[in-house]
Structure 1
Amino acid sequence: MARPNDEVQALLQEYADLVAITGGDAFKARAYEKAARAIGGYPADIATLDAAGLREIPNVGRSIADKVTEYLRTGKMTVVEERRAKIPAGVRELIAIPGLGPKKALRLYEDLRIASVSQLAAAIEADALADLKGFGEKTQENIRHGIELLRRAGGRVPLSVALDTAEEIVAELSRVTGCRRCAYAGSLRRMRETVGDLDVLVAAQRSDAFMAALSELPATAEVIARGTKKTSVRTAKGLQVDLRVVPPQSWGAAMQYFTGAKAHNIRTRTIAVHQGLKLSEYGLFDTESGRSLASRTEEEVYARLGLPWIAPTLREDRGEIEAALHGELPEVVTDKDIRGDLHTHTDLTDGLAPLEEMVEAAAQRGYRYYAVTDHAPGLSMQRMTDEKILAQRERLRELDGTRRRMRLLHGTELNIGPDGEVDWPAEFLAGFDLCVASLHSHFDLGRAAMTRRLVRACENPYVSILGHPTTRLIGRRQGVDADWDAVFAACARTGTALEVNAQPDRLDLGDEDILRAREHGVRFAVNTDAHAVPHLAYLRYGVGIAQRGWLTPDDVINTWPLTRLRRFLRKGR
């Protein structure tokens, strides 16, 4: 169900990892990593390109284009399969552990014959790595945390993967004759950052055709159970899909029943019981007479319980029932409220598309304003210079207002150093419309030092937004350790917005941190951190997480008119 671009990206990234594991040329591994990113971020479907078209993608040369062509033609890439055969599958699994790179994975296998995550966990507990060079106490502790992260993720998949799969299934089932309604529910509809399984609902009079259609989808690898009311399958990527077919008149009740978290549903069923009612996936019924009182829409089910409709992203039993009863339920921010993106990149640094393409893509999304924030010199690998950024500013000013009257903001993503310092002196920073400041290194500072570092960055009068604040990578890297309440208080005091980074592997801040920060009176910016044109569509994930954090449009600075936004970005200067 993934785009060919995504499939090839994963394959090339795996090849880069395999090259590194087997002691291959580091430059070759890096070349394949770059090609993987470029293909993953390429806006067109690579299946429509010939070899010459593939070579027009940045970082894709003749050799890599030939391998991609082979995969598109045969479904396999010979060099990858040859590399896979050189090492046990368990060793390849080891590099999925956050904090354990290819070289260490190979050393574990060669020296201790460790070829699985469970063997590595046991070896650490038995102190069997103590004499192995490069595996000191700190490294072992990091690996232990990495294993915990991996196990915690379990069979869960990222929000973006689950959403792509669900939308494909919904589209297929919606075409089946007799389908009145079809939608996904469950934790995906609540926009959880990871999803364990998919709940898909169909409203129809008969179920047979839908159960058969799901079982026969190309992505279905295994039929777990098939019945008249429910069928469960597992996709080729290991994601379980549960399909339920309900009568059309029960649609609203079913969506309410299968969307909320368990705790939320217990609360709504308890409210029903206290009113002499019974709530199920088929409707809200009078207990004594059995008469249906509400079922067709979620709104009428909630209304009959004495509640307003509650947005799916809030249905976690985190106070939404009480807020609804007291008329204090927030009108959460939506995609339509977002007027512009305030954190994006171009190929001037590590982005994949030129400035003009990113600007045009943003204009097509209907934005009122759009910021370009390429990396500053603190990340030396990006080779940024004063001359380059000033030339970009001049070109941006030329483009300003030419794309559907969308206004362009020139910004930069600054690197927060170990002591909280940022790139460029104050007089140079004064020339930018906005500055995003982010952590990109030194993630292991102690709690007190990390807190001071972040607070000092917020206190910089030119830092408007704290980018991907915790630096977490979901399932791969824990966020940095800091006194977050102190950081949130500093953001509120200095007028620094906290970013809700919409990159699917970040979603940073997460919803629980948003809820805490909101109590401090912090403002937020929902940004994509786009490094390619397709990444601009990641906004939906950031908005979903913002909703889970109860954010309203007034909480989010990039829903504001440009005049109000500019005042905020100046931080009172």
Structure 2
Amino acid sequence: MARPNEEVEALLREYADLIAITGGDAFKQRAYERAARAIGGHPEDISRLEPADLREIPGVGKSIADKVDEYLHTGHVSVIDERRATIPPGVRELMSIPTLGPKKAMSLYEDRGIASVDDLVAAIRRDELQGLKGFGPKTQENILHGVELARQAGGRILLDAASSLAEEAVGELAGAEGCERVAFAGSLRRMKETIGDIDILAAATDPDPVMDAFTALPLVAEVVMHGSKKTTVRTTAGFQLDLRVLPPDSWGAGLQYFTGSQAHNIRTREIALRKGLKLSEYGLFDAKTGKKRAARTEEDVYHRLGLPWIPPTLREDRGEVAAAQRDELPGLVTLEDIRGDLHTHTDLTDGLASLAQMVETAAARGYSYYAVTDHAPELRMQQMTEEKMLAQREEVRTLDGKHRKLRLLHGTELNIDPDGNVDWPGEFLAGFDLCVASIHSHFGLDRAAQTRRLIRACENPHVNVIGHPTTRKIGSRAGIDADLDEVFAACARTGTALEVNGHPNRLDLRDEHILLARRHGVKFAIDSDAHTTGELGHIRYGVGTAQRGWLTADEVINTWPLGRLRRFFRAPGRPGR
């Protein structure tokens, strides 16, 4: 993991915010947001690049490259420091609240002297925002909800950031003296959408060299606790990693114990007690004699309990133990089952890589098919036209077949308007191989209106997939208020797939919604929603979320052969292409 990339990404995003706060050029603001995303997703460590090489990154021109180079050499950017000095510190804190933009944050500071989140919450509760333009009762309600959302996410990190940290630590520790096995465990292994502390487990006869190697990792900023059984460190970004070292012959029991969840472990311990056994991180023991019955592998531990191995993503006490006892665990969809990605973007709209680059990366992933689905014209900032889309279609057809075994699909991501309509007339939509339809605006409509708009989109014969159905962004935007049970029933009735969006800040649908939707017999698409070549890998987080929702490969349309997928898109009630 190249942390300088993340530092620079955060810096450029901050500068974009500062531009917005001070009423700067909106195009300049978006340029810095675009460059931040490109640098954050760049596969190389940018601290090793020359300024000329930096300019090769999409969206990074000379001015931005010079600022990045200045930061990498000095730790500061003078123009950003100057801009910071003009902004009261509390204003950027206010902007961290979901739904509260730069203009409103500045208005709160200038008109009411509010310079912190706590000040704002107190002012709302004391009804002190009366008469302030743009802060009516509904807005204040949304702000309080946004504050609650941000506080719930406080101290937790998204799945991709946690994965990067854990994988770096595991990779380094694998070479430590005496380390026989090492893996991450806990909520990260269960693929939860946000992670608190990262749990790492190692097996070694002598724990001390492994613990010493852990505290010496480059990512470590502070050693919180150093012991022979457990060591805790904190990274430069403030995240906590816990390492536990167990004897090699306790590996399986330890991995089962520290993967959790707590509720799942209670279930397994109850089974152990009924069998006259005692289960701990060191093994499964006879309760009377203390003799070890199983410990080396998780499979051995579960087998001795009378259970098949239960995948970590199911271990949430949602009926998985009972299903295992009945031999009814689902055969979960895996990353290897995915034959293609059905929701991606290029630099024709808000992506950062060309169509050719995205296709080349999709081919390298071994896909059988790949769909490009750039935005339609109702998302006006993308300035899409029929002419641009038709030109892209020609490029898609030209590239199709140039990579062995990879077939290309030309699609689009349509915008669902407040009434449930989508971009472009039916005759134009009929020319696409597939259409993803998503909500990108009017998030505050009431429950009935949101439900109607989604159902109407499902009923459009040209819409194949509903993208990121609830529109949520983890820690920053709650999902829309809709009767999802009705929406899921409509998707099943119309043959419209629901997306499991793998972008780490979305993971939408979330696992609980997948569990509800699959009861209706809905089909799903697991997509990356990639805007860069590196983001195509986000599909693994979608797969993890799908597993948490108990999905099998047959329920996911992009595990199917292309012929079956095309037949699904052209099912009765949907026009032929």
TM-score over 0.5 for the pair: yes
Instruction: Give the percent of matched residue pairs that are identical in Structure 1 and Structure 2.
Output: 69
- Which structure 2 segments of 5+ residues have no match? none
Work out whether 1:482 is the aligned partner of 2:482.
Answer: yes
Deviation of the 1:260 alpha carbon = 1.6
- Provide the residue aligned with 1:283 in structure 2: 283
* Counterparts of 1:401 and 1:377, CA distance in 2: 29
Contact 1:496-1:571 within 8 A present in 2 as well: no
Instruction: Indicate yes or no: 2:162 matched with 1:162.
Output: yes
1:427 pairs with 2:420 = no
**Aligned-residue offset at 1:44:** 4.1
Residue 32 of structure 1: aligned partner: 32
Once the 2 structures are TM-superposed, how far is the Cα of residue 395 of structure 1 from its aligned partner? 1.5
Superposed, which structure 2 residues align to 1:16-415 within 5 Å?
16-415=16-415
TM-fit CA distance, 1:342: 0.5
Secondary structure of 1:436's counterpart equals strand
The AA in structure 2 aligned to 1:510 is R
Equivalent AA in structure 1 for residue 91 of structure 2:
V
**Whole-Å separation in 2 of the counterparts to 1:386 and 1:432:** 12
Amino acid in structure 2 at the alignment position of 1:95: M
After TM superposition, the runs of 4+ consecutive aligned structure 1 residues lying more than 4 A away are: none
Question: Is residue 2:562 matched to residue 1:555?
Answer: no
Superposed displacement of residue 88, structure 1: 4.4
Structure 2 CA distance, aligned partners of 1:280 and 1:43? 41
Match for residue 450 of structure 1? 450
Shift of 1:262: 0.7
User: What corresponds to 2:9 in structure 1?
Assistant: 9
Equivalence for 1:461: 461
Structure 2 counterpart of 1:425, one-letter code: P
Task: Spell out, residue by residue over 1:457-509, the C-alpha distance to the aligned partner (whole angstroms, 9 max, x if none).
Answer: 00111111000000000000000111100000000000000000011110000
Distance of 1:216 and 1:92 partners within structure 2: 35
Deviations 1:263-320 (A, max 9, x none): 0000000000000000000000001110000000000000000000000000000010
SS in structure 1 opposite 2:353? coil
Give the whole-Å Cα distance in 2 for the aligned partners of 1:328 and 1:243: 34
Map Cα deviations across residues 49-84 of structure 1 (whole Å, 9 max, x no partner). Answer: 322222233332222111111122233333333333
Is this contact kept in 2: 1:185–1:259, CA < 8 A? yes
Structure 2 counterpart SS, 1:19 = helix
How far off its partner does 1:553 sit?
0.3
The residue identity in structure 2 corresponding to 1:410 is H
1:510 matched residue in structure 2: 510
Task: Give the superposition deviation at 1:42.
Answer: 3.7
Q: What do residues 126-160 of structure 1 show as CA deviations (whole Å, max 9, x unaligned)?
A: 11222322222121111111001011112111111
Q: Residues 25 and 435 of structure 1: is their aligned pair in 2 closer, same or farther, counting only changes over 3 Å?
A: closer
- Are 1:338 and 1:558, in contact at CA under 8 Å, matched by a contact in 2? yes
CA distance in 2, matches of 1:177, 1:553: 41
- Residue 19 and residue 391 in structure 1: after superposition, are their counterparts in 2 closer, same or farther (change >3 A)? closer
Return the letter of the residue paired with 2:76. Answer: K
Shift of residue 25, structure 1, vs aligned partner:
4.1
Mapped partners of 1:5, 1:226: distance in 2: 30
In the superposition, relative to structure 1, how do residues 383 and 23 fare at CA in structure 2: closer, same or farther (>3 Å)?
closer
Q: Quote the residue 1:544 is aligned against.
A: 544
Quick check: 2:188–2:198 contact (8 Å CA) kept in 1? yes
Q: Is the 8 A contact 1:333 1:546 kept in 2?
A: yes
Distance in structure 2 (CA, Å) of the matches to 1:50 and 1:195: 35
Kindly indicate whether the alpha-carbon contact (under 8 Å) linking 2:361 and 2:533 is maintained by their aligned counterparts in 1: yes
Task: Specify the SS of the correspondent of 1:243.
Answer: strand
Q: Which amino acid aligns with 1:521?
A: G
Alpha-carbon contact 1:464-1:569 (below 8 Å) kept: yes
Cα separation, 1, equivalents of 2:137 and 2:231: 48
**What code does the residue aligned with 1:484 have?**
L
Which whole-Å deviations, capped at 9, do the CAs of 1:388-424 have from their partners, x for residues lacking one? 1111111211211210221111111111111111111
Q: Comparing 171-180 with 293-302, which one deviates more in the overlay?
A: 171-180
Report SS of the residue matched to 1:81.
helix
Amino acid at match of 2:97: I
* Displacement after TM superposition at 1:173 (Å): 1.2
What is the CA distance between 1:41 and its match in structure 2?
3.7
**2:221 & 2:4 partners in 1: Cα distance?**
19
Matched residues in 2 for 1:140 and 1:402: separation?
A: 54
Corresponding residue for 2:472? 472
Q: Distance in 1 between matches of 2:178 and 2:18?
A: 48
Specify whether residues 91 and 222 from structure 1 end up closer, same or farther in structure 2 by C-alpha distance, changes over 3 A only: farther
Q: Deviations over 1:84-126 (max 9, x none)?
A: 3444443322211101112222222233332222221111111
Q: Is the 8 A contact 2:249 2:296 kept in 1?
A: yes
Whole-angstrom CA distance in 2 between matches of 1:487 and 1:72: 49
How many residue pairs end up in the alignment? Answer: 573
Retained in 2: the 8 A contact 1:299–1:308? yes
DSSP 3-state at the match of 1:134: coil
Shift of the 392–22 alpha-carbon distance from structure 1 to 2, 3 Å rule, reads closer
Partner AA of 1:59 in structure 2: G
Corresponding position: 1:501 with 2:501: yes
Q: Cα distance 1:272–1:538, how it changes in 2: closer, same or farther (>3 A)?
A: same
Distance (whole Å) between structure 1 residues aligned to residue 96 and residue 478 of structure 2: 14
Q: Are residues 392 and 77 of structure 1, via their aligned partners in 2, closer, same or farther at CA, if it must alter by over 3 Å?
A: same
Alpha-carbon shift at residue 29 of structure 1 (Å): 2.5
Q: Is the 8 A contact 1:502 1:540 kept in 2?
A: yes
CA contact (8 A) 2:2 2:44 kept: no
Paired amino acid for 2:373: T
Letter of the 2:436 counterpart = V
Q: CA deviation at 1:376?
A: 1.2
Are 1:98 and 1:477, in contact at CA under 8 Å, matched by a contact in 2?
yes
Contact 1:91 1:116 in 2 (8 A): yes
- Does the Cα contact within 8 Å between 2:374 and 2:412 map onto a contact in 1? yes
- Opposite residue 452 of structure 1, the aligned amino acid is R
Q: What is the distance in 2 between the residues matched to 1:299 and 1:163?
A: 24
- The Cα of 1:206 is off from its aligned counterpart by 1.2
SS in 1 for 2:183: strand
Q: CA deviation at 1:2?
A: 4.6
Q: Kindly report the root-mean-square deviation, in angstroms, between the aligned alpha carbons of the 2 structures.
A: 1.4
Contact conserved, 1:219 with 1:236, CA < 8 A, in 2? yes
Structure 1: state its 5+ residue gaps: none
- Corresponding residue for 1:439? 439
After TM superposition, the score normalised by the length of structure 2 is 0.97
Aligned to 2:529: 529
TM-score, normalised with respect to structure 1: 0.97
Equivalent residue of 2:241, what SS? Answer: strand
Most deviating of 488-497 and 346-355:
346-355
CA shift, 1:209, in A, is 1.8
Matched position secondary structure for 1:228: coil
Opposite residue 264 of structure 2, the aligned amino acid is H
SS at match of 2:182: strand
Alpha-carbon shift at residue 571 of structure 1 (Å): 2.9
Q: Distance in 2 between matches of 1:357 and 1:178?
A: 43
Structure 1 contact 494–571 (Cα < 8 Å) conserved: no
Preserved contact between residue 178 and residue 210 of structure 2 (Cα < 8 Å): no
| Contact 2:59/2:352, CA 8 A, preserved across alignment | no
Deviation at 1:20, TM superposition (A): 2.3
Residues 43 and 533 in structure 1, CA contact (< 8 A), matched pair in contact too? no
